[in-house]
Structure 1
């Protein structure tokens, strides 16, 4: 049965709901036919991404590929959203048991945690996969950017030319399978080997990427219970659209409340009806991008901006203090490394990764600059204030990020290390969500106001333009202050409260693709597709 995608805060455990909302039966049926990692991150710390190019030269090749995709719908492979939800409950119960029993050894703790969940497996198919496997136009998702593919969107997104992408992504990719778990050796490796053996048997080619969630404590030391960070050192994945009632309640009680900024989102933020699925079948569009991070370059900008901040207070300053550098990084990202929003205070230290904030009291960006990454990517009402755009429209452009870091799991990579983010995000419309954010917010130098500049983290000029052509972003001369005086004049005269400094372009896209995450009923249907007679002659 169909569900109401306008609903927010679904609860599969609630037996009664208001009559205008989805019933428990409908919600559980939809989640049972939906893949995990859409409405909530799979949460595992290690993942392997298998990029698959099927042999499609003959009808027999295509049939084998379709049947292989259908085989993933068996319970031992694909993790449904319902299974993920129930395993998350078991995982939390296990953590409570561990917390209440100080006699549990580290080895037992690990074993208990692993036993609370299975290996996560998810599968998605590209537009080329639907086309080359002859799945049929009537059951192919119709998002225009998905249909065109990531290679055709280079100019729109200011990405490097396809010829500069890594070979994996220059190839035609038909599908992506994600295998994730907290134990990469005993649980991920055997399953990946099994899947690769199956794929080799049908003549498919497989390329791999390996992801690791980097967890560190407040001192920057590796910790299995620490905050997940990315290679620039900042807490990652802090603010996400929330779809389940229990996640929204957790944000209400554990992340500073939701009265100023409500993270909840309706299901249609990320879900669409799967044209190949059954009555309960829903899927999502996923954007995949391999983003390389230039850590030395970023830190150079961070230090240089920190020095300018120091000189605003003391023109004779020769070096920035640690506090100056921390504030510079917070200006660039919009949060300090511990997740404290810079719009809330001038120093780090707020606990529990607060997310209950807006920019209502900082319209001009004297506390959180307008070019800060988190402000560009999620304006939290800025468009309503500046242009009268309804808040519901701005909120509808959010994406659900599901990425993970690649490269050595360290906050201090060696100069020879290649590090970055395997970026993944879910949405119901690629052009209206991911592409809109990247092209019209992050890359648009006049977003909100003229000469705001690029997003200081992910903003990019067209690939043919040099970094020196970027607008110098405006930064506060003094945190939170509009009152600046030019003491070179007699008497001192009011002056601009910002100073210009060019930063950014230290994240480079190395390749990617657009995918659709089909429902389990759709995957099963792929195995029954029969090509029209004479199809071989037209191949």
Structure 2
């Protein structure tokens, strides 16, 4: 096992910044490259790294930064060097092919986005500002703004994010529980939940025991003495080591439609709301109760409180899907030891090759949805953020193959009920949710889409060393 150079890795990859209750993701556009590079040099020393910090020494603020392919070009990285990055990153999130792959259709199509698509809505840099509370974050941002506005950068949009009690999202469910543990990161956990560093950090071997494809310097520019040697190509410099790819998606949540659907499907004979039944149906679609407790361990009732329970395996605890349905969002995104008809060992190997490190910040009216509390004040949603060393094999695979594709396990017309349903299905297309039961399965038909994509982009999340290098272009 290789020891990760945590002091060179940007912190948000390893640390969730759980004590940072407010964040501001600043979408920037480069207008004057020379000035922007000078600013980049000054800010590189302020970035938060991934070293583990004791709880009593946590800072009041954190800062990280990411770049789109277009942003790297604007900063002066040559086309020949940009061409060494992975194809999804270079192409971006809004190509016609990628929209079909990700299911960004109808109201979620890029032409309707608020940022990330359109001539005046492109993003070059995301400056990720965090604070222990809203006032602290905004005060820190003011100081940063004074600097970047004088250095050839223009703010396009602020994405202000918050966290709710017990880390719940607007539908009302505790989020961010099942995170993979990176070997060498200083965190520990059961072997089945641990992955090699190269699944998420470039420059280290992944679960295939090979180095992930990493950008390098093909055309000499800038101060190359700052960069490490490429581990696989003699004489070349590695641009990617200790970096990764960052995916950001703005996902608007229709809380009212979500709970209206659950209420209607479970209504009593007099059409009154059966709160318990409605919550149970929603939990079956999610795969956890609102508290975060997994259905595979608590199939009948939410134990309440705030649960971080993640020590369970489907083949062991629920092989037939009678507790947590096969088609639930949680089970689809991480089948653990019960993928299709494979053995437990093979299932774990396959599952762990498609993991994501997920982060989320909420926006809008801070509502915690439920059958009786389902009408927020205005638009609400999630700034869904995740990391992967291989965008195609991890993020895009999960969205297309395990979420949007309706055939999985014993299911044939069941997309992911949370993020895979089409707004306008093609003629004859069924969109169901199947609840396994003895003797007869229950089928919830004509699923509705409750998520609308409002923006998004792929970012390179470089090492702190690489950020210093970029300032020398």
TM-score, shorter chain, exceeding 0.5: yes
Q: Secondary structure at the match of 1:382?
A: coil
State yes or no: 1:473 paired with 2:473.
no
The corresponding residue for 1:431 is 392
Question: Kindly tell me: are residues 468 and 425 of structure 1, through their superposed partners in 2, closer, same or farther at Cα, counting changes over 3 Å?
Answer: farther
Do the aligned partners of residues 408 and 458 (structure 1) sit closer, same or farther apart at CA in structure 2, a change above 3 Å counting?
A: same
Give 1:278's aligned residue: 227
Q: Does 1:329 align with 2:282?
A: yes
Instruction: Choose which of 385, 390, 397 in structure 1 pairs with 2:354.
Output: 397
- Report the Cα distance in structure 2 between the residues aligned to 1:272 and 1:459, rounded to whole angstroms: 29
| Matching of residues 367-406 of structure 1 within 5 Å | 367-383=323-339, 385-386=341-342, 390-406=347-363
Deviates most, 269-278 or 206-215: 269-278
Superposition TM-score, scaled by structure 2 size: 0.83
CA 272–471 in structure 1, closer or farther in 2 if over 3 Å, else same: same
SS in 1 for 2:456: strand
Report Cα offsets for 1:147-175 as digits up to 9, x if no partner. Answer: 11111221211112221111465422111
Paired residues of 2:109 and 2:453 also in contact (CA < 8 A): no
1:268 paired with 2:198, answer yes
Q: How far 1:132 moved relative to its partner? A: 2.5
Match of 1:205 among 146, 154, 177: 154
The equivalent of 2:209 in structure 1 is none
Q: Is the 8 A contact 1:145 1:430 kept in 2?
A: yes
The structure-2 alpha-carbon separation of the partners of 1:498 and 1:470, relative to structure 1 and needing over 3 Å to count, comes to same
**Structure-2 residue corresponding to 1:156:** 101
1:460 is matched with which residue? Answer: 421
- The alpha carbon displacement at 1:137 in A equals 4.5
Deviations 1:453-480 (A, max 9, x none): 111111132x65379944222224xxxx
Deviation at 1:394, TM superposition (A): 2.0
Measured at CA, do residues 263 and 504 of structure 1 come closer, stay the same or move farther in structure 2, by a change above 3 Å? farther
- In the alignment, does 2:464 pair up with 1:509? no
C-alpha distance in 1 between matches for 2:428 and 2:270: 25
Determine the structure 2 residue equivalent to 1:242.
Answer: 181
Change (3 A) 1:123 1:244: same
With over 3 angstroms needed to count, the CA separation of the structure-2 counterparts of 1:413 and 1:322, relative to structure 1, is closer
The answer to whether the Cα contact below 8 Å between 2:361 and 2:383 also exists between their aligned partners in 1 is yes
Shift of the alpha carbon at 1:359?
1.9
1:403 and 1:278 map into 2 onto residues whose CA distance is 31
| C-alpha spacing 1:120/1:163, structure 2 compared with 1 (3 Å) | same
Deviation per CA, 1:119-148, whole angstroms, max 9, x where unpaired? 100001111111232213565461111111
**Distance (Å, rounded) in 2 between the aligned partners of 1:525 and 1:505:** 44
- The CA deviation string for residues 382-436 of structure 1, in whole angstroms up to 9 with x for no partner, is 3253599553232110000012111122224645411110010011100100110
Deviation by residue 1:311-332 (Cα, 9 ceiling, x = unmatched): xxxxx67545332122111111
Please give the secondary structure, in 2, of the residue aligned with 1:202. Answer: coil
Cα pair distance change 1:335/1:287, threshold 3 Å: same
Distance 2:27 2:185 in 1: 34
| Counterpart residue number, 1:535 | none
The aligned counterpart of 1:31 is: 6
**Structure 1 residue 335 displacement after superposition:** 0.7
Q: Structure 1 residue 245: deviation in Å?
A: 7.1
Unaligned stretches of 5+ residues in structure 1: 1-6, 8-20, 56-60, 95-114, 216-226, 252-257, 311-315, 484-495, 530-539
Q: 2:16 aligns with which of 41, 51, 68?
A: 41
Q: Conserved in 2, the CA contact under 8 Å of 1:243 and 1:264?
A: yes
Equivalent residue for 1:407? 364
Match of 1:130 in 2: 72
Contact 1:457/1:504 (<8 A) preserved: no
Q: 1:353: Cα distance to partner?
A: 2.2
CA RMSD of aligned residues (A): 2.6
Q: Does 2:453 correspond to 1:523?
A: no
Equivalent residue number for residue 182 of structure 1: 132
C-alpha displacement of 1:370: 2.0
Deviations 1:73-113 (A, max 9, x none): 11xx211112xx13xx1x2xx3xxxxxxxxxxxxxxxxxxx
Describe the shift of the 1:356–1:348 C-alpha distance in structure 2 as closer, same or farther (beyond 3 A). same
Do the aligned residues in 2 keep the contact of 1:458 with 1:504 (CA within 8 Å)?
no
Shift of 1:438: 0.6
Instruction: Normalising by structure 1, report the TM-score.
Output: 0.73
In the alignment, structure 1 residue 73 sits paired with structure 2 residue 55: no
What residue number does 1:111 align with? Answer: none
Larger displacement relative to structure 2 (326-335 or 346-355): 346-355
Q: 1:284·1:517 contact (CA, 8 Å) conserved in 2?
A: yes
1:449 to 1:134, Cα distance in 2 relative to 1, 3 A: farther
Between 373-382 and 199-208, report the one with greater CA deviation: 199-208
Structure 2 unaligned segments of length 5 or more: list them: 204-214, 218-225, 230-240
Match of 2:301 in 1: 347
